[in-house]
Amino acid sequence: MRKRMGGRSGLGYELLFNNGDFPQDIDTSLDSIHVWLRHFDSEFYRTFGHHKGFADLTHLQGDQLIRHFVQQGWRERRSYSRFFYSFIDPDFYAARYPHLKLQTPRDAIAHWMYRGAFEGRIPNVVTDDIINARFHLFQMGRVGSKAIQSALQEAGVFGTIPHLHWSSEAIRSYPDCFFLIPRLSGTLSPRISISSVVSAIQFRD
């Protein structure tokens, strides 16, 4: 199961800024760098095949990895987060957003990791299907767990019908969906909202 948070590396990257190691010709905001670093996975960054599948940073350790990312890695749009990378389908992403003119899978991955994930963009078909589902089912308890879903399908509702008993089930039931239930319900972003929700609950005597 994926963890739902990108983790800080815990390597004290603030020291790079305080010691003046940050490049002076910076062409992006420090805020952006800090945001990316909050999701930085040092082991992923070290072992990822950045150049045509070749992992060229395996000789670096600890603070050296963060220093590399701060000084040049982000400029080269290297992949830095195992969490973000686990969701992206480059072909889907490029087709979903043709106006971005992403020419290669690497372009798609880089855009997703440095911008798309923070802009609320959709990284894969599972996330797209769930967001665009006409109905979302929430049934508290286990009784009749498939009854409403079956009834909707028999009534001619096709496509994905997300079905949960508890919101915490979403990660396990739909591990490839990037957004959590609060995001899907529109509480975190007006760009994403569920059209119809069917909810049921069982009361015991």
Give me the DSSP letters along 18-33: HTT-S-TT--S-HHHH
The structure tokens listed for 150 are: 């079956």
Domain extents in the chain = 14-86, 126-201
Instruction: Examine the pLDDT at 190 and tell me if it is beyond 70.
Output: no
**Contact at 8 Å (CB) between 175 and 1?**
yes
| Distant-in-sequence, close-in-space partners of 28: CB < 8 Å, separation ≥ 6 | 74
CB neighbourhood size of 109 (10 A): 23
**Contact at 8 Å (CB) between 47 and 55?**
yes
**Each residue's pLDDT tens digit, 144-176:** 556 666 666 666 666 555 666 555 666 666 778
Instruction: Examine the pLDDT at 205 and tell me if it is beyond 90.
Output: no
Mean residue pLDDT across the chain: 75
**Each residue's pLDDT tens digit, 81-118:** 999 999 999 999 999 999 999 999 999 999 999 999 99
CB neighbourhood size of 71 (10 A): 13
Residue 104 CA to residue 40 CA, distance in Å, equals 23
Instruction: Examine the pLDDT at 64 and tell me if it is beyond 70.
Output: yes
What's the whole-model pTM score? 0.70
